[in-house]
């Protein structure tokens, strides 16, 4: 093994010290030395550098254990701002965030009916606006994009909805903005966002299942995103969960995506509205053709038994897909994200029930399924986490 150079050792030590200040809320130099195993002299010299970079500040005095009270240090949350973009929906959304993942400025641009070069120009418009609006210089851009992404090369290999093929997105953005840029699949970014800023951020392993127009999952194992050798790990949307049912865009039949995506739910709701003129949906939507997931949600919340049935059915199919994740990965935290999360407890109960039916009981008992607390911002926060992980080594 090659010996670390002095520069590498210095950088490594600096990261250790910064991370212990960032994680510790308020901490003294002596406590940092204790927790990192570095000498007090090394810690003090690194702290000088970190304060010089504006990343750390002195916040007051701690309690004395007899001698002089120690000076406490804390991280400056606003020292750096990063950008996170979510390109998975029909509206491109983005935000700038501070070092705690708190959103500072937001922007969005509709992208419906545009693809290829036009969609790319919408990405530029979104970034331009966020850069203009940000009051603190932005130090990096993270992107969560739909489709198969090579995060190492920063290339969108295939994104069907956006009609992007082998698009060197990272290179394009880095050349244009002269900022470090990182790209991942939207579900994989969501998983990193949940791992970094979600409610159970002590766990080292989790899977986020994101259900919207499509279905996919992202997997964090041992504290890092698991991409798979072809970077497509977690593509559960095309697991076959029903025999010989509806044909999917991928050519198979009975894929999870054809049974439980919001598109699948809307399709079933439209059929109900067409067949039953008295259905609740016909009271809230102008015609069955224009029914949206928001209409379905409204009918569901009003107690429409047909909508309850559709959601329970979708939940069962999702539970079947998740049973595969649990069996293969033995992951104990499965987090639901995407627009389907708004169906709450009814959906969760259906998912859990099916998970128990289809898994070894001891593994199912150990598995917690819950809805992400990050809501609609999960991909934005995850995309920003990609930058935090690579630039600040905080993830």
- Does the footprint of Zn ion cover residue 248 (CB under 5 A)? yes
- Candidates 49, 50, 19; CA nearest to 35 is 19
Per-residue binder mask for Zn ion (CB under 5 A), 255-274, x = binder: x-------------------
When the beta carbons of 255 and 322 are compared against Zn ion, the nearer one is 255
When the beta carbons of 160 and 290 are compared against Zn ion, the nearer one is 160
Nearest distance, CB of residue 338 and Zn ion, angstroms: 17
Report the residue count for the chain. 395
The count of other CB atoms within 10 Å of the CB of residue 52 is 9
When the beta carbons of 236 and 364 are compared against Zn ion, the nearer one is 236
Contact 31, 65 (CB under 8 A): no
Stretch that binds Zn ion, among 151-159, 254-262, 340-348, 367-375 (CB under 5 A): 254-262
Q: Which residues in the 227-246 window bind Zn ion by CB under 5 A?
A: 238
Instruction: Compute the distance between CA of residue 215 and CA of residue 334 in angstroms, rounded to an integer.
Output: 14
- Does the footprint of Zn ion cover residue 317 (CB under 5 A)? no
- Does the footprint of Zn ion cover residue 170 (CB under 5 A)? no
Instruction: Compute the distance between CA of residue 393 and CA of residue 395 in angstroms, rounded to an integer.
Output: 6
- Candidates 154, 137, 134, 136; CA nearest to 145 is 154
- Does the footprint of Zn ion cover residue 162 (CB under 5 A)? no
Phi, psi of 5 (to 5 degrees): -75, 165
Per-residue binder mask for Zn ion (CB under 5 A), 274-313, x = binder: ----------------------------------------
Residue with tokens 């290999």: 157
Stretch that binds Zn ion, among 5-13, 78-86, 145-153, 248-256 (CB under 5 A): 248-256
> Which residues are 220's β-sheet partners?
206, 225
- Does the footprint of Zn ion cover residue 247 (CB under 5 A)? no
Phi, psi of 293 (to 5 degrees): -65, -25
Instruction: Compute the distance between CA of residue 239 and CA of residue 392 in angstroms, rounded to an integer.
Output: 36
Q: Site for Zn ion (CB under 5 A): which residue of 250, 290, 294, 360?
A: 250
User: Could you list the residues that contact Zn ion (CB under 5 A)?
Assistant: 238, 248, 250, 252, 255
């Amino acid at each position: 093994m090659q010996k670390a150079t002095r520069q590498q050792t210095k950088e490594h030590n600096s990261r250790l010290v910064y991370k212990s200040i960032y994680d510790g809320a308020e901490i003294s130099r002596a406590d940092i030395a204790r927790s990192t195993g570095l000498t007090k002299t090394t810690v003090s010299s690194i702290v000088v550098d970190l304060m010089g970079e504006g990343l750390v500040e002195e916040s007051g005095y701690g309690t004395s254990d007899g001698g002089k009270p120690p000076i406490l240090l804390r991280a400056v949350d606003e020292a750096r701002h990063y950008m996170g973009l979510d390109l998975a929906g029909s509206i491109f959304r983005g935000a700038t965030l501070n070092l705690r993942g708190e959103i500072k400025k937001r922007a969005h641009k509709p992208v419906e009916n545009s693809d290829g070069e036009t969609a790319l120009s919408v990405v530029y418009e979104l970034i331009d606006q966020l850069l203009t609006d940000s009051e603190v210089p932005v130090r990096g851009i993270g992107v969560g994009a739909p489709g198969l992404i090579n995060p190492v090369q920063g290339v969108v290999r295939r994104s069907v909805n956006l009609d992007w093929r082998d698009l060197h997105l990272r290179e394009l953005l880095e050349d244009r903005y002269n900022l470090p840029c990182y790209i991942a699949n939207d579900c994989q970014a969501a998983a990193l966002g949940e791992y970094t800023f979600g409610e159970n951020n002590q766990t080292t392993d989790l899977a986020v299942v994101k259900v919207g127009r499509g279905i996919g999952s992202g997997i964090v194992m041992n504290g890092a995103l698991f991409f798979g050798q072809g970077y497509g790990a977690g593509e559960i949307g095309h697991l076959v969960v029903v025999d010989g049912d509806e044909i999917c865009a991928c050519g198979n039949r009975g894929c999870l995506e054809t049974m439980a995506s919001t598109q699948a739910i809307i399709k079933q709701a439209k059929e109900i509205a067409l067949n039953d003129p008295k259905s609740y949906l016909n009271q809230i939507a102008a015609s069955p053709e224009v029914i949206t997931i928001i209409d379905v949600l409204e009918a569901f919340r009003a107690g429409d038994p047909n909508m309850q049935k559709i959601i329970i059915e979708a939940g069962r199919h999702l539970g079947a897909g998740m049973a595969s994740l649990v069996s293969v990965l033995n992951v104990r935290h499965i987090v639901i994200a995407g627009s389907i999360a708004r169906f709450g407890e009814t959906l969760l109960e259906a998912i859990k029930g099916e998970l128990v039916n289809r898994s070894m009981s001891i593994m199912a008992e150990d598995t917690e399924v819950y809805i992400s607390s990050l809501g609609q911002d999960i991909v934005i926060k995850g995309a920003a986490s990609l930058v935090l992980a690579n630039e600040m080594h905080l993830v």
